[in-house]
Amino acid sequence: MTPSSLALACAVLLGAEAPATSPGPGGPLPRSSIAAVLAHRGDLGLTDAEVSELEKRDEALQKQVAKIREEFPGSSHGSGGPGGTGAGPSPTAAPPEGGGGGHHGGGGGGRHHDGSGGSSGRQDSAGRGAVLRSRLDDADTTAWLAAETVIAESRREKARDVAERYREALADRREAERAAKGR
């Protein structure tokens, strides 16, 4: 997906409640599938009761996300994505490579047991980042599948489409960030 089509996907995803200027490729995504659906409440014709229940479920998801993130201290999170606010940390960016500013001290035969540098540290960090993203994605999917049941059957398919477009935009964002880091 090109940066301009990613921007369009984000604008479409955010719908009528989107700001006058749609976000660019690095712009914010909703923090979850549920939040993406809530951003389309008017387009979907959600009732006040459905909105209220979805908001409660999204709040519960955010608490779960915070607990998951506590298990991964020091992991870097880009913008947007499950549990992200779009403006702050989230699981979309790859974790930091190395750390420790290139100083690795003496001894140890080049091994890095603390994950603070070297290729071993980068692999460990990348692996931890992948596990974190997977756990956050699983939490988002599970929360959405439970939340969609509060939406009337007549609106549910359209809401699923919104949630799916969100997840596709998130995957495209992650792929673009990986490609940019690979340059």
What type of residue is 27? G
Residue 148 lies in a domain: yes
pLDDT mean across residues, the chain: 73
Q: Is the pLDDT of residue 94 over 60?
A: no
Residue 100 lies in a domain: no
Q: How far apart are CA 131 and CA 125, in angstroms?
A: 10
Residue 108 lies in a domain: no
More confident call, 121 vs 86? 121
How does DSSP classify residue 85? -
Alpha carbons within 13 A on the beta-carbon side of 98: 9
Pair 79, 92: CB distance under 8 Å: yes
The residue assigned the tokens 């609106």 is: 155
Q: Is the pLDDT of residue 57 over 50?
A: yes
pLDDT digits (tens, 9 = 90+) for 109-163: 443 344 444 445 555 777 888 899 999 999 999 999 999 999 999 999 999 999 9
Q: How far apart are CA 165 and CA 125, in angstroms?
A: 29
Residue 106 lies in a domain: no
Pair 43, 151: CB distance under 8 Å: no
- Interhelix angle 118-147/153-181, nearest 10 degrees: 170
**Which of 69, 110, 116 is closest to 88 using CA atoms?**
69
Beta carbons within 8 Å of 78's beta carbon, 6+ residues apart: 89, 90, 91, 92, 93, 173, 177
pLDDT of residue 113: 41
Domain of residue 53 covers 3-95+116-181
Q: Tell me the average pLDDT across 41-68.
A: 98
Q: How far apart are CA 128 and CA 26, in angstroms?
A: 23
Total domains in the chain come to: 1
pLDDT of residue 148: 97
Residue 156 lies in a domain: yes
Residue 101 lies in a domain: no
Residue 107 lies in a domain: no
pLDDT digits (tens, 9 = 90+) for 11-46: 444 443 333 333 445 679 999 999 999 999 999 999
